[in-house]
Amino acid sequence: MFYRPSDGHGLPHNPFNAIVTPRPIGWISTHGSDGSDNLAPYSFFNGVAYVPPQVMFASTGSKDDRDGTKDSVANIRETGVFCVNVVEHAMKDVMNQTSGPWDAETDEFDLAKIEKAACSEIDCARVAATPAALECRMTQIVQIEGAANFVVFGEVVGVHLRDDCIVDGIFDVLRYNPLTRLGYRDYSVIRDKFSLNRPGE
């Protein structure tokens, strides 16, 4: 089949987010100017540069008690910082709990009983047990086409790696089994890997 998104897809559910898969999940922790902590998953997330290391995530849609966006973007606008926590398979249910449409005052760490740790370089909480956390200073928030669509870019200024995930000098994802997002309500988990040398290497 072929469809133009502007004409509609004619399927029971939009296939778009099943096509761009699997996606890593950035579990974004932020801190509001009122002192509250916030945690929510974003799968429109990726790394975008090595030097300096930079990441992005995209927020689509808004919540009634926020000015045209969601808590995460609103907090980053206020404080200029965020932390990306990596989600391992064992954290799938608590991660999912933090994705509810909770009001701005809700601390999702408390709601889902997730232990916090303090970030080192920024004033923000992180998930204590996460395999890896990237402390980020926001560099740009770009509004893109459509209502309430924002892309947040950040420079990574601090990196936490869980010691048990470092094997022979490699950050070994098989030690924690990353959770990835497919389309609809589907997920997958990384349980094996292989290597390829590039031509000329």
Ligand X SMILES: Cc1cc2nc3c(=O)[nH]c(=O)nc-3n(C[C@H](O)[C@H](O)[C@H](O)COP(=O)(O)O)c2cc1C
Q: Is 160 in the site for ligand X (CB under 6 A)?
A: no
Q: Give yes or no for residue 63 binding ligand X (CB under 6 A).
A: yes
Selected binder of ligand X within 21, 60, 79, 97 (CB under 6 A):
60
Count of residues touching ligand X (by CB under 6 A): 20
Binds ligand X by CB under 6 A, chosen from 15, 52, 68, 101: 101
* φ and ψ of 49, to 5 deg: -160, 155
Kindly state the smallest distance separating residue 2's Cβ from ligand X, in Å.
Answer: 26
Nearer to ligand X, 42 or 109 (CB): 42
Q: Tell me the closest approach of the beta carbon of residue 1 to ligand X, in angstroms.
A: 26
Instruction: In whole angstroms, give the CA distance from residue 172 to residue 132.
Output: 11
Residue 79 or 99 with smaller CB distance to ligand X? 99
Does position 68 interact with ligand X (CB under 6 A)? The reply is no
The alpha carbon torsion through 89, 87, 102, 34 (nearest 10 deg) reads: 150
Among 71, 85, 127, 130, binds ligand X (CB under 6 A): 71
Encoded one letter per residue, x for contact with ligand X by CB under 6 A and - for no contact, window 12-41 reads -------------x------------x-xx
Query: Binding to ligand X (CB under 6 A): which residues in 38-57?
Result: 38, 40-44
**Of 22 and 172, CB closest to ligand X:** 22
Task: Find the binder of ligand X among 21, 79, 97, 99 (CB under 6 A).
Answer: 99
Q: Does 96 bind ligand X (CB under 6 A)?
A: yes
Question: In the block, which residue shows the tokens 């209502």?
Answer: 147
CA distance 164 to 159: 15
Q: Which residues bind ligand X (CB under 6 A)?
A: 25, 38, 40-44, 58-61, 63, 70-72, 96, 99-101, 181
